[in-house]
Structure 1
Amino acid sequence: MSDAQEESFISHLVELRDRLLRSLIAIAVVLGVLCIYPGPGEIYDILAAPLTKALPEGTKMVAIGVITPFMVPLKVTAMVAFVLALPYILYQAWAFIAPGLYAHEKRLGIPLIISSTLLFIAGMSFCYFFVFGQVFSFIASFAPKSITPAPDIEAYLSFVMTMFLAFGITFEVPVALVVLVKLGLVTVEKLKEWRSYFIVGAFVVAAVVTPPDVVSQLALAIPMCLLYELGILASRLVSAPKPAAAVATDAEMDKAEEEFRKLS
């Protein structure tokens, strides 16, 4: 490795360190604000609201571990802080990789980052506001009258994180399809042909990652199928042929950037 290449590599590492540090500071600042107001306890109460509404009157959740009443609300607050700081974190990631992208890749990158962030948050919101209420009410209706449900807060947090992750990733289906089509790995026609296989796969995934009840499985499988159709529509727009002038402009800009990289 030449001195110029080594210096460039070190400068990239320094920039990566700085941007990671800025992201961590952003999360820490948001976390500090949330710890002051409204506070970890209140944030956890909001997260636990769908379950507590489904519990018998006068029943509360329990904390088995010694430090669980402190650590679990703090983990929830850290999760919320990360979500709130996510736009800034994605900006730092984009600012780091953007100089190495071609012109057409830069134009696609920002819309993909924005749409993937919004879709992930939409998946979490759908899970919280609709799925949790239906699932917990369904499960409570099957509980024997001879027992008093008292869920552990740590087990509840693990369940919530799994469901949030499942629904957040599920809502990324349109973005994944657009990327695959844009990279030329699949075509819109192939996506249409695979529609029936995807529907079967959606119900299999829903049966694996959700609780063993019909409500939550349908609540995950049906949006997956609808989002697949949305992804096909979006892929049509991405794969639509460009005017000759626009294609020539992209090629010229990409060629100029390639020459600049060689010189540097």
Structure 2
Amino acid sequence: MAKKKIVIVTGLSGSGKTTALNVLEDLGYYTVDNLPCEIGFSFISSSIENIALGMDIRSFREIEEFTNFLDKLKNTPDIIYSIIFLEASKEVILNRYNLTRRKHPVTEKTLLQSIRTERKTMAEIKELATGIIDTSFDKPKELTQKLKTLLGLDVDIKDINVHVQSFGFKYGIPIDVDLVFDVRFLPNPYYISELKSKSGLDKEVSDYVMSFELSQEFYTKLMDMFDFLIPHYIKEGKKHLTIGIGCSGGKHRSVTFAELIYKELSEIDNLNVYVNHREKERGNW
């Protein structure tokens, strides 16, 4: 008998929960938003097979209500569940609320205080999440792909999904990464006139970055670390690992390393590996 699939979409108000539920509905899930925890288990006990539940700070009075609901799911053998936690920067959430003029579910003196209080309250739930998505710069198409990846809807079933992301420290560290590595200590192609306008996707830049013994040594140490870490993550049941590689602008050194890591990890049979370059997607190149 096939197990019932439950996806819980939670996170910060204004981070895109409604959009995510619409995506899941298009993917064949029966969706319900703002479901109270106290009736959650009764609802999923219905005959509906694939269910997506929108559950945020309005769904419970105390965090224990949410954790008790999860305990019931864990102890039900015919249910597989995932928790997708959505978040965004406070600036983006402020802007979204100012545009929609909706009332924030947390009542504080200011909207900013409401956002901060909610983030603090939801921190414990974030720790329980199967996957975390920062929607600050996501378009609906990008959110759709991230959801499908996290839920394994468009990939072979393998031991773990590894997402490698390059970024620029000048634009901030991604908030949805598990491991962050800084390659700003390596020689910078930005200061080479014929390489400045190119990126780590270009062979000339990649060859320059990797022409130094320091780069080669660091790359070898990184891969040795991943060879050690990833099997242990798999053993502990982790299904998604996001690796962030950062340099100053997120265009040359970090891109070179992200691509090399992606190519080498992709050769390992039990991994689904993805790569993206944040600053390219944001138009910062």
- Relative to the length of structure 1, the TM-score reads 0.28
Relative to its length, the structure with more helix (as a share) is: 1
Relative to its length, the structure with more strand (as a share) is: 2
- Relative to the length of structure 2, the TM-score reads 0.26
